[in-house]
Structure 1
Amino acid sequence: MTALFFMLVPTVTMSLVSAHGPESDFTGRVVIDTGHKVLLYQFVCITIAIFACLNLRKLGVAATFAYNCFFKRLGKLDSQQKRLNAFYGGQASVYDTTRSKLLRGRKTMLRLCGAELQRMNGDLVWVDVGGGTGWNIEKMDEYFGIHNFKRVYLVDLCEPLCRVAEQRFKARGWTNIEVVCQDAKSFNLPGLDSLEGTVDLITMSYSLSMIEEFYPVVDRLCKILKPQSGILGVADFYISDTNTRSSSAGILSYQCSWFMRIFWQHWFEFDHVFLHPCRRNYLEHRFDTHKVFNGRNHFVLPYLVQIPFYVWLGKPASSVNLISGEQNAHTYNSINHSLVRAEGGTNSGKGWQRLPYQPSKPEHAQFSTYIYGFTWEDPRCDLQVLDLKAGDNLLLITSAGDNALAYAAHQDQIILNCVDMNPCQNHLLELKLASLRALDYSQFWQMFGKGWIEDFDSILDTKLSPWLSSSAYQYWKTNVSAFAVPRDKSILLAKLLGRTNLYTTGYSGLALQCLKGMLRLMGVYKAAQSLTRSKSLDEQMDTWRRNISGWIHGTLATWFLDNPVIMWQLLGVPVSQWTMLRSEGSMSQYVRDTLEPVVAETSFTEDNYFYYLLLALEYSPTCCPDYLTKSGFDQLKHISASSNDRCTFKLHTSTILNVLRGMQEGELTKAVIMDHMDWFSLDDAQEEVGALARVLAKGGFVLWRSAARVPWYIEVFTRNGFSVEPISVRQPNTMKPLDRVNMYASFYKATKF
């Protein structure tokens, strides 16, 4: 309506001038006589009056908020309840309106709690501590119906806010809610004979920071929550410690600058809101961290004013790590003096385990995103050699998890140890496993076939969060734009930068964007796109030779691939591997031997989903990995919901060597290590191959690919008791591809004597 008036004023003004016949002076300018000026003045005044009337309520709300928060004198009051009553008494009716943008994270906290409650049975009891006007309870009805609770209690010390809550619930006709206007340290709940261990859910929305004596309150909440299944949800402001956390519990975006730590602590203290880190630390000391997200509120001046807030879900502390099943498996956090359950959450109903790790270690902290958004090795060839059988125990590199899923879809009674030093690669595989568990096929296809989905943020909170570790949830909550539809400003900016879906993110996404730009620069982008629509191999090859081949094999493309810096930064090819590749021929010969056989022998339309993705930046129903087919999805969905007689994924965020050191002698039957030994020195190779020789059972074997036709480390395997044989070696000027990727020069198998 405001915009309408701003458009209307100049339009009507010109109409008035035209209707009363404006005069012109000798310069040709329009001159309005006194009568016309009076009419124009009256119209402007009427417009302003109408505008003010339409916005009167907003102006009144703002004035009420400003007066009560900044100008109203509270006087000397001798109790917290009196201070609260005096402070909120004049603004209780506008509380929800004025706090909607300030108190961020409440919806996220409620959605996470609602998702956890979906897994509970029985007569549920919820206590909302510091619930104020009842906004939380009304909002929760959208995520988990209030009728599902046997009893809901709103506990708050402020009488004016409690009256608003009572009116709200009465208007909704809810009869299972009780408003308890009492102190959080000593409240009683009508209708419950005993409080200890009887409550299923406790929430605290921006109330922990307002409770002066918070230690006994947290202790009491710990006692009344059910010891096995109870959930505590908190959303609140915070400031960080001066040191960096060492555990995975809330490490992402946890740290605040020194200015934010000092400024916000003193600013909020004026309103008796206390942000000292001891509050959050004690909370995490008494409870196991289950989910956590650290955010910044930019509502005043976006990206200049940043108010730190956090969303946290906890469970009663336990001496049993439910992921590994071992006793005393807590990780002690010496920075915030809390005991943090390793990756929080149980293994109940899951076909995978995320093993604990410390994100602050340099080998993990160096990664802010995944390198590979898709796996670039062909699992079809692996499966032909692996000959998977029930009971096999495999070790493999996680990458994007596509090949691990392909192995599981082929044989569902195996163990897959997925290892990656980059935590984000395991976050991606964990997201795929959680999506298999929680989503239907159409949603799963939209996420990983198309690479985007409507309202991913809500899906993450309400459906996927119960099945994700805390670290994976933190990562995807911070990176929801990876799956977002390009609409709002931030997503439109991402679109301008070329990041339009999952497969244009990460370092591999950057490589795809560069490929797209290079094809456009050479003027062959449309011709390359047409390869994905070819009706036959002959048509595909004809398009390639007539329109593309000459440009690809030209000087620019060869220079691009012959640059070690570009190969490492965009394609993840280290200098050592690049050197191996160049030692066996020119780069132009390598490019020709890679691409020509693939175009001639594999269909980009029906089968070769690797190159389809490179050109289309998404998959198609006829050209996609096995896990994205309906049959593959159905098979894997059974696996993801089981932890007993079917495949188990074990996600290790570590180096292969460290994982091997933690295994028993003869524990593994097979290993697939991709091409990573091309990166090694002689000492590195000797150490890892020796560890593989110890852990592999007799007759077990290792598969790997290499950029070289005869990699130098073959003799290292031989010295450690392996018999090495080439599965396939690519010869120059041949038109027979090794596999659908054909980017490696060789594929080897080493069998333990």
Structure 2
Amino acid sequence: MPMTKKIATRVQDALFGSIHGQSLVYNTCWEDPRLDRRLLGLGPDSRVVVITSAGDNALDYLLDGPARVDCVDVNFRQNALLELKRALFAHATFEELYAFFGEGGGPACAGIYARIRHTLPAYAAAFWDRHIGYFRAGRLSRSFYYHGASGLAAFVFSRLISALKPGLRRNIPRLLEAGSPEEQRRVFAAIEPVFWDRLSRWLVGRPETMALLGVPRPQIDLIRHSHPGGLEGFVRDKVRHVFTGPPMAENYFWRVYLTGRYTRRCCPEYLKESRFAAIRDRLPLLAAHTDTLTGFLAKNPGPYTHFVLLDHQDWLASHAPAALAEEWDRILSCAAPGTKILMRTAGLDVAFVPQAARSRLRFFPELTEPLHAADRVGTYGSQHLAVVA
């Protein structure tokens, strides 16, 4: 590798590590739990291990009545976010929960937090003591969803659109409220050529932008090598899929970053009033752990019936193959025959899974590939369901 490329690689990795080591990265989950629940088939005997992220999908899983959901994340800030949501379910009303995470904040949030603060674990209270301003009304960003690493990227992007492309900004509400697939495609056809100018292409290609969005260099390299259009082509295809495929009226993932808030009709299941009591009653089944997945499994050997690994193994496959092999050893030692493992990747296949682990897994592309086309997030190269043989 040429010296200049080595230096650039080190800078990109250092930037990504700095952002992820010092920030709340994900303020909302970026995986579609509607697909997860169809593939996982959770029930009363299910014991689930999931990477925490923002905790939304773990709360969603509680609706299927599993025996237990263990949320694991190396970033304590992600678990602090889940603990705040748990405290609001347990000690606040639905409207107060919705003020925080449906509206993205408001004038009452500081007082609500002061009332429930004592119920939080010490580390979570210490974090939110410093950052409860994320929910303060009247701030420049006006929403919790424009804070944290991914939120900052969404905020900057939305402000650039407002400043430089007012016509495009005016069309976004039309896109979000499209009443039919034909109208949705028609509005996007008018937006797409305006959106993809030199500025947008430059932003997409910047490692700083990708790092803020939670995309490490190994995933960028994987996209560049596996997609015929490279990184820009990949992003263009994914954006086109999202905005011309699944109905935008129910796509809360993109709505929240485009507008800074959800609506009562278009939001995660945990923010629907009809779900509030069921999730609140099942909160004792959920636990948060700040650890690596390997460390958690070493301390808590299971057995477990389901693992939801998101896409973190893309990074391990490039940066720490020995750690990846150890993680799979732990997963398989804690899994009984029939255990389901759900993974996502920036690539198009499961090459990131060590061969020794693959030999013990059976994959189901006939299930995952059709569902991948219905993914409302639309940012992954592929998803995979494996069952332990």
Cα distance in 2, alignment partners of residues 413 and 395 from structure 1: 11
Question: Does 1:414 find its partner at 2:55?
Answer: no
Identical amino acids, percent of aligned pairs: 29
What TM-score, normalized by structure 2, do the two folds share? Answer: 0.88
Per the alignment, residue 468 of structure 1 pairs with 120
Higher helix share: 2
CA shift for structure 1 position 543: 1.2
Q: Deviations over 1:383-440 (max 9, x none)?
A: 001000102111101111010011012x224211101111111111000011001111
Q: Which runs of 5+ in 1 are unaligned?
A: 1-362, 487-493, 731-735
Question: Does 1:591 find its partner at 2:235?
Answer: yes
| CA distance 1:509–1:437, change in 2 (3 Å) | same
1:672 to 308, 312, 319: 308
| CA distance 1:388–1:571, change in 2 (3 Å) | same
Cα distance in 1, alignment partners of residues 33 and 350 from structure 2: 21
Q: Deviations over 1:567-598 (max 9, x none)?
A: 11x21100001100111222332123212222
CA shift for structure 1 position 471: 1.5
Cα distance in 1, alignment partners of residues 282 and 350 from structure 2: 37
Higher RCO by CA contacts (8 Å cutoff, separation 6 or greater): 2
Per the alignment, residue 516 of structure 1 pairs with 158
Q: Does structure 2 retain, via aligned residues, the 8 Å contact 1:374–1:400?
A: yes
1:630 to 237, 253, 273: 273
| CA distance 1:611–1:748, change in 2 (3 Å) | same
CA shift for structure 1 position 660: 1.4
What secondary structure does 2:157 align onto? helix
CA shift for structure 1 position 680: 1.3
Cα distance in 2, alignment partners of residues 728 and 503 from structure 1: 30
* Paired amino acid for 1:613: V
CA shift for structure 1 position 560: 1.9
**Residue pairs, 1:496-511, within 5 angstroms:** 499-511=141-153
CA shift for structure 1 position 368: 4.1
Per the alignment, residue 525 of structure 1 pairs with 169
2:48 to 394, 403, 413: 394
Question: Does 1:483 find its partner at 2:120?
Answer: no
Question: Does 1:709 find its partner at 2:361?
Answer: no
CA shift for structure 1 position 729: 4.3
CA shift for structure 1 position 655: 0.8
CA shift for structure 1 position 531: 1.6
Question: Does 1:537 find its partner at 2:189?
Answer: no
Per the alignment, residue 737 of structure 1 pairs with 373
Q: Does structure 2 retain, via aligned residues, the 8 Å contact 1:689–1:716?
A: no
**Residue pairs, 1:545-564, within 5 angstroms:** 545-546=189-190, 548-564=191-207
What secondary structure does 1:583 align onto? helix
* Paired amino acid for 1:575: R
Q: Does structure 1 retain, via aligned residues, the 8 Å contact 2:188–2:244?
A: no
Per the alignment, residue 104 of structure 2 pairs with 451
* Paired amino acid for 1:391: D
Per the alignment, residue 440 of structure 1 pairs with 93
Cα distance in 1, alignment partners of residues 183 and 213 from structure 2: 29
Q: Does structure 2 retain, via aligned residues, the 8 Å contact 1:671–1:701?
A: yes
What secondary structure does 2:337 align onto? strand
* Paired amino acid for 1:386: L
Per the alignment, residue 608 of structure 1 pairs with 251
What TM-score, normalized by structure 1, do the two folds share? Answer: 0.46
Cα distance in 2, alignment partners of residues 717 and 744 from structure 1: 25
- Aligned residue pairs total 365
Cα distance in 2, alignment partners of residues 738 and 680 from structure 1: 27
Cα distance in 2, alignment partners of residues 719 and 442 from structure 1: 46
CA shift for structure 1 position 565: 3.5
What secondary structure does 1:747 align onto? strand
* Paired amino acid for 2:119: W
Q: Does structure 2 retain, via aligned residues, the 8 Å contact 1:457–1:477?
A: no
| CA distance 1:555–1:485, change in 2 (3 Å) | closer
CA shift for structure 1 position 485: 1.8
Q: Which runs of 5+ in 2 are unaligned?
A: 1-16
What secondary structure does 1:670 align onto? strand
Q: Does structure 2 retain, via aligned residues, the 8 Å contact 1:553–1:588?
A: no
Tell me how large the CA RMSD over aligned residues is: 2.3
Cα distance in 2, alignment partners of residues 559 and 381 from structure 1: 32
Cα distance in 2, alignment partners of residues 559 and 728 from structure 1: 33
Higher strand share: 1
CA shift for structure 1 position 637: 1.9
Q: Does structure 1 retain, via aligned residues, the 8 Å contact 2:19–2:25?
A: no
CA shift for structure 1 position 683: 1.9
What secondary structure does 1:375 align onto? coil
Q: Does structure 2 retain, via aligned residues, the 8 Å contact 1:553–1:591?
A: no
Per the alignment, residue 218 of structure 2 pairs with 576
**Residue pairs, 1:181-330, within 5 angstroms:** none
Cα distance in 2, alignment partners of residues 518 and 484 from structure 1: 23
CA shift for structure 1 position 443: 1.4
Question: Does 1:728 find its partner at 2:352?
Answer: no
Cα distance in 2, alignment partners of residues 728 and 579 from structure 1: 24
* Paired amino acid for 1:705: R
Cα distance in 1, alignment partners of residues 110 and 94 from structure 2: 19
Per the alignment, residue 687 of structure 1 pairs with 326
Q: Does structure 2 retain, via aligned residues, the 8 Å contact 1:441–1:630?
A: yes
Q: Deviations over 1:246-300 (max 9, x none)?
A: xxxxxxxxxxxxxxxxxxxxxxxxxxxxxxxxxxxxxxxxxxxxxxxxxxxxxxx
Per the alignment, residue 749 of structure 1 pairs with 385
Cα distance in 1, alignment partners of residues 257 and 205 from structure 2: 20
